[in-house]
Chain A
Amino acid sequence: SQQGEEDPQALSIQEGENATMNCSYKTSINNLQWYRQNSGRGLVHLILIRSNEREKHSGRLRVTLDTSKKSSSLLITASRAADTASYFCATDGETSYDKVIFGPGTSLSVIP
Chain B
Amino acid sequence: DAGITQSPRHKVTETGTPVTLRCHQTENHRYMYWYRQDPGHGLRLIHYSYGVKDTDKGEVSDGYSVSRSKTEDFLLTLESATSSQTSVYFCAIRDRGSYEQYFGPGTRLTVT
A residues at B contact (CB < 8 Å): 1, 6, 31, 33, 35, 40-45, 48, 88, 90, 92, 97-105
Contact = CB atoms under 8 A, between A and B. Distances in A.
B interface secondary structure, majority: strand
27 contacts: A1-B59, A31-B99, A33-B99, A35-B101, A41-B105, A42-B90, A42-B104, A42-B105, A43-B90, A43-B92, A45-B100, A45-B102, A88-B42, A88-B43, A92-B99, A98-B94, A99-B45, A100-B45, A100-B94, A100-B101, A101-B45, A102-B35, A102-B42, A102-B44, A103-B42, A104-B40, A104-B42
Nearest to A43: B103
Interface residues of B, number: 26
A98 B59 contact: no
B41 A90 contact: no
A interface secondary structure, majority: strand
